[in-house]
Amino acid sequence: MHNTETARPLTRQDYKTLSLAALGGALEFYDFIIFVFFANAIGQLFFPPEMPDWLRTFQTFGIFAAGYVVRPLGGIVMAHFGDLLGRKRMFTLSILMMALPTLAIGLLPTYANIGLAAPILLLLMRVFQGAAVGGEVPGAWVFVSEHVPARYTGYACGVLTAGLTFGILLGSLVATALNTAYKMDEVLAGAWRVPFLLGGVFGLGAMYLRRWLHETPVFAEMAQRKALAAEMPLKSVLRNHRSAVTVSMLLTWMLSAGIVVVILMTPVLLQKFYHIDARTSLVANTIATLGLAIGCVFYGALADKLGAKPVLLVGSLLLAICTYVFYTTLRVQPELLLPLYGLTGFCVGVVGAVPCVLVQAFPPQVRFSGLSFSYNLSYAIFGGLTPVVVTLMLKSDPLGAAWYVIAVCIVGMLTALFIPKAELH
């Protein structure tokens, strides 16, 4: 299938599909992570004032983590229907499921108004967000890769992953702008609601834009030939595609570790261990996140040219070296923070080559379910555990974060050796 298609270049319609999918992904990811930028304010407003500070922080991050824990469940349910009813419907539904709870968080009464019901409602909204993002990310990769000719799968997935990265960047910029414009007591008095209300409106706008997307040619053709999964897709995945699930989970571990440690955790570490002020850390983080977005597209496109195996082998090695240099050099030459962090961010971009392996690891009938199950289960386990493990490692060694990323890069390199030969659509 698609043999005639494989040779064609990318069309205007392909670029439109890619940009709409990436924009929706960026806005949805913004909704998912904006919480973490306002964790301090949320902790103060949604828990009893007499609660010890460490417990408040712990519970706030617990509610943030709940979003990760329910990802597999949301992803499995949405992927199940995505394999049976179509990619586009789930793609539109996931953004609605994200926009509404984000809007609701911006309108929630606080502990001062409704007592214990406040953190419970917050947790409930966070669970809905997690379920939505569990369907969005794998669904978006499947959607774009089934729209473009097979030889552009890496590029398409790289562009989409860069879109998700822009969601993190948008969150960081909105948080910086808000903290610059308002004093802390103004943020607590109500300004913290703005980014959530904004996110809800963004999401509804993105959902409207997704009306212009078409069902993927691959799914449409399977539906026409009545070649859709005959049984529950996930059952088939667990029975016939175990090695693909293993490879996909291990590569997702590398993807999550790179992003969680280098992009999301490092700004805090810079302030704590390297005594770099908050504003400089945020600026450096913005540069690193931009580097990551460019790296995703670069490595994704490179995987189309050279194949995913060599790209992941060399890219993981470069990331390991760069991470070590970054964390050790800052001790002695903190003035090199910006270029080094930018370069490390770019090296994390090797994760842009991961989704094309995941997409090609499963046949179209169970592709959405296989990818979603592997990616979300891995993210729930490793994405959730990574901050805990790294924090424990940092207790005994200030380079704990670097050692963790290096160890996971080695896992990535070993896994790359087992990537099956890609089948084109």
Per-residue pLDDT tens for 301-346? 999 999 999 999 999 999 999 999 999 999 899 999 999 999 999 9
Distance CA 66, CA 60 (A): 10
Per-residue tokens: 206? 């993105």
Q: Is 208 a member of any domain? A: yes
Positions in the chain short of pLDDT 70: 1-7, 227, 229-231, 421-425
Nearest Cα neighbor of 197 from 120, 67, 63, 104 is: 104
How many structural domains does the chain have?
Answer: 1
Backbone angles phi, psi at 231, to 5 degrees: -125, -175
Determine the Cα–Cα distance for residues 119 and 64; give it in Å rounded to an integer. 12
pLDDT given at position 310: 95
C-alpha to C-alpha distance for 353 and 295, rounded to whole angstroms:
10
How far is C-alpha 309 from the chain's CA centre?
Answer: 22
Model pLDDT, residue 38: 85
Q: Is residue 423 part of a domain?
A: no
Asked if residue 424 is part of any domain, the answer here is: no
State which amino acid sits at residue 125: M
User: Pick from 383, 391, 389: which is nearest to 351 by CA?
Assistant: 383
Query: Whose CA is closest to 327, among 344, 315, 312, 314?
Result: 344
Could you tell me the residue range of the domain that residue 39 belongs to? 3-416
| Burial zone of 400 (CB within 10 Å; 0-12 exposed, 13-18 middle, 19+ buried) | buried
Contact 123, 252 (CB under 8 A): no
Q: What's the CATH number where 277 sits?
A: 1.20.1250.20
Q: Report the half-sphere exposure of 237 (CA within 13 A, side-chain side).
A: 26
Whether residue 203 is contained in a domain is answered as: yes
Rounded to the nearest 10°, the torsion over CA 286, 291, 293, 296 is: -150
Assigned domain for 175 exists: yes
- What contacts 91, CB < 8 A, 6 or more positions away? 21, 24, 82, 136, 139, 140, 143, 210, 213
End-to-end CA distance of the chain: 7
Judge whether 422 lies within some domain: no
Residue 145's pLDDT is 92
Residue type, 97: M
pTM: 0.86
285, amino acid identity: N
Give me the pLDDT at residue 6, please.
Answer: 58
Which two structure tokens, joined as six digits, stand for 317? 């090695």
pLDDT number for residue 424: 40
3-state secondary structure the chain: CCHHHHCCCCCHHHHHHHHHHHHHHHHHHHHHHHHHHCHHHHHHHHCCCCCCHHHHHHHHHHHHHHHHHCHHHHHHHHHHHHHHHCHHHHHHHHHHHHHHHHHHHHHCCCHHHHCCHHHHHHHHHHHHHHHHHHHHHHHHHHHHHHHCCHHHHHHHHHHHHHHHHHHHHHHHHHHHHHHHHCCHHHHHHHHCHHHHHHHHHHHHHHHHHHHHCCCCHHHHHHHHCCCCCCCCHHHHHHHHCHHHHHHHHHHHHHHHHHHHHHHHHHHHHHHHHCCCCHHHHHHHHHHHHHHHHHHHHHHHHHHHHHCHHHHHHHHHHHHHHHHHHHHHHHHHCHHHHHHHHHHHHHHHHHHHHHHHHHHHCCCHHHHHHHHHHHHHHHHHHHHHHHHHHHHHHHHHCCCHHHHHHHHHHHHHHHHHCCCCCCCCC
Q: Are 277 and 128 in contact (CB under 8 A)?
A: no
421 is a domain residue: no
Asked whether residue 425 is assigned to any structural domain, the reply reads no
The CA–CA distances, whole Å, from 423 to 19, 220, 248, 362 equal 26, 19, 15, 9
Structure token pair of residue 411: 């896992």
**CA–CA gap between residue 256 and residue 180 (Å, rounded):** 30
pLDDT tens per residue, range 228-242: 766 677 888 888 899
